[in-house]
């Protein structure tokens, strides 16, 4: 790397916990990096003057107009430090010959967090915690369920869904799964069924699907009606796969027994920000979290030291690969 010309790039949405990994990779990969905590937009794009690449997280909205400006500035690469690319107009980037890359990280962190949310939901941890805080040590209403007595369904058996099933295998529960692509190693621990059958059989359903036209709003009034009474729903995927108003209805009429969500529709600009002194215009978020059987967290299932390092390293390696080896001529979206 020492013999190659230094690559200049601008990193947007940089958190303090990412800086150490950026600085380590800058030395290893011969990079000159401009840092900002701001999102990438028309105004902040000026910070990327003379940069050949930019990297962002998922709060930036990189549409065709912004990509056109990026192209005009001579920027060749947009590397998102996220797995999903739904915040980027990938088709527009391809038409403009701008390389777009995403990253992968080990599934363990999200899978571990998913199992934690399942256990918290089944053992009514939120209700118990609230009581402790006001010196109420009563038992009424806190009786939980044991996983060995339940059927747990996993929708989507990519790397994260597969790891969730592996984590759950030791609890003695019956495991069923539904996925567009069936994995042979999953069949050793779970039984593949149709989505309709999974909804009908599962006491707990955990979703691990990407956000696409087919998965958007897949949990809605109709699908909830096809589930078991008192079902527990877990979402560590994307908020948009669930229709929030239909979820509220399902909780209020007690079709849904428990709900745990690490993600939320229209969370951008709220999650990962300090908004304690602000008026937040997301009524559904404010309303749904008041239910005793609903757990919400601020999109942190991914947030481990190993994952953060992998996301930064992956984005920077993708940029180097595109600039030095012309990977963007081969593939529009690269997962490292």
124-145 pLDDT, tens digit per residue, is 999 999 999 999 999 999 999 9
As a whole number of angstroms, the distance between CA 14 and CA 7 comes to 18
Q: Which pLDDT score is estimated for 268?
A: 86
On whether both 209 and 114 belong to a single domain, the answer is yes
Which pLDDT does position 331 carry in this prediction?
37
Helix axes 305-325, 108-122, angle to 10 degrees: 150
List phi, psi (to 5°) of 191.
Answer: -105, 125
88 falls within a domain: yes
Asked whether 3 and 11 are in contact (CB, 8 A), the reply is: no
Cite the active site residues.
Answer: 238, 267, 299
Provide the β-strand partners of residue 235. Answer: 207, 261
Consecutive H or E run containing 192: strand 191-192
Quote the pLDDT of residue 328. 43
Residue 288 has pLDDT above 70, yes or no: yes
Spatial distance between the Cα atoms of 253 and 208, rounded to a whole number of angstroms:
26
Q: What is the CATH number of the domain that holds 206?
A: 3.40.50.720
335 located within any domain: no
Claim to verify: residue 286 and residue 149 sit in the same structural domain:
yes
Q: What percent of the chain has pLDDT over 90?
A: 91
Rounded distance, CA 52 to CA 180, Å? Answer: 38
How far apart CA 143 and CA 290 sit, in angstroms, is 20
A 10 A CB-CB count for 304 gives: 17
d(C-alpha 94, C-alpha 98), whole Å: 6
Give me the helix-helix angle, 16-29 and 305-325, nearest 10°: 40
> What value does the mean pLDDT take over residues 84-103?
94
Contact 20, 42 (CB under 8 A): no
Residues 44 and 187 in one domain: no
Contact assessment for residue 51 and residue 36, using Cβ atoms and an 8 Å cutoff: no
Owning domain of residue 242: 108-296
Name the domain count of the chain: 2
What's this model's pTM, rounded to 2 decimal places? 0.89
Asked if residue 136 and residue 81 are part of one domain, the reply reads no
Classify residue 259 as left (phi > 0), alpha (psi -120 to 50) or beta: beta
253 is a domain residue: yes
* β-pairing verdict for 151-155 and 204-207: parallel
- Closest listed residue to residue 320, CA positions, set 26, 41, 109: 26
In a domain, 281, yes or no: yes
In total, the chain counts a number of residues equal to 336
Residue 7's pLDDT band (boundaries 50, 70, 90)? very high
Same structural domain, 98 and 184: no
Spatial strand order in the sheet of 151-155: 191-192, 174-178, 151-155, 204-207, 231-235, 256-261, 294-296
Does a structural domain hold residue 336? no
Are residues 158 and 94 part of one domain? no
Q: 35 and 100 share a domain?
A: yes
Structure token digits, residue 65:
């107009």
Handedness of CA 12, 285, 103, 120 (dihedral sign): positive
Query: Is there a single domain that holds both residue 310 and residue 230?
Result: no
- Same domain flag for 44 and 172: no
pLDDT value for 27 = 96
Q: Are residues 176 and 282 in the same domain?
A: yes
> Which residue is listed with tokens 């390092």?
309
In a domain, 275, yes or no: yes
**Nearest-angstrom CA–CA distance, 242 and 225:** 14
Are residues 26 and 157 both part of a single domain?
A: no
CB of 119 closer than 8 Å to CB of 211: no
**Has residue 253 got a pLDDT over 70?**
yes
Q: What are phi and psi of 250, to 5 degrees?
A: -65, -35
Answer yes or no: do 62 and 119 share one domain: no
Rounded Cα gap, residues 133 and 225, in angstroms: 35
Decide if 143 is inside a domain: yes
Reported as a single tens digit per residue, the pLDDT across 163-206 is 999 999 999 999 999 999 999 999 999 999 999 999 999 999 99
């Amino acid at each position: 790397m020492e013999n190659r010309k230094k690559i200049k790039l601008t990193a947007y949405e940089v958190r303090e916990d990412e800086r150490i990994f950026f600085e380590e990779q800058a030395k290893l990969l011969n990079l000159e990096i401009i840092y900002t905590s701001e999102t990438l937009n028309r105004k902040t794009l000026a910070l990327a003057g003379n940069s050949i690449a930019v990297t962002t997280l998922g709060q930036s909205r990189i549409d065709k107009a912004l990509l056109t400006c990026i192209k005009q500035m001579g920027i060749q690469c947009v590397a998102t430090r996220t797995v999903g690319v739904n915040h980027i107009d990938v088709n527009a980037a391809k038409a403009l010959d701008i390389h777009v890359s995403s990253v992968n990280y080990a599934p363990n962190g999200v899978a571990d967090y998913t199992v934690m949310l399942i256990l918290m939901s089944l053992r009514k941890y939120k209700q118990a915690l609230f009581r402790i805080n006001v010196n109420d040590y009563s038992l009424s209403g806190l009786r939980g369920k044991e996983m060995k007595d339940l059927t747990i369904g996993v929708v989507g058996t990519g790397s994260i869904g597969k790891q969730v099933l592996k984590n759950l295998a030791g609890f003695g529960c019956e495991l069923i799964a539904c996925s567009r692509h069936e994995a042979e190693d999953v069949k050793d621990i779970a039984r593949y069924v149709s989505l309709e059958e999974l909804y009908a059989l599962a006491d707990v359903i955990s979703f691990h699907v990407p956000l696409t036209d087919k998965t958007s709003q897949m949990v809605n009034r109709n699908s909830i009606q096809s589930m078991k009474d008192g079902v527990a729903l877990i979402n560590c995927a994307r908020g948009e796969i669930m229709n929030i108003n239909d979820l509220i209805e399902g909780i209020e009429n007690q079709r849904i027994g428990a709900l745990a969500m690490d993600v939320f529709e229209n969370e951008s600009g709220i999650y990962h920000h300090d908004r304690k002194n602000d008026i937040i215009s997301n009524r559904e978020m404010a309303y749904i979290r008041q239910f005793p059987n609903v757990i919400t967290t601020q999109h942190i299932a991914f947030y481990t030291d190993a994952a953060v390092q992998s996301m930064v390293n992956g984005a920077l390696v993708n940029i180097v690969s595109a600039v030095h080896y012309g990977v963007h001529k081969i593939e529009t979206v690269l997962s490292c």
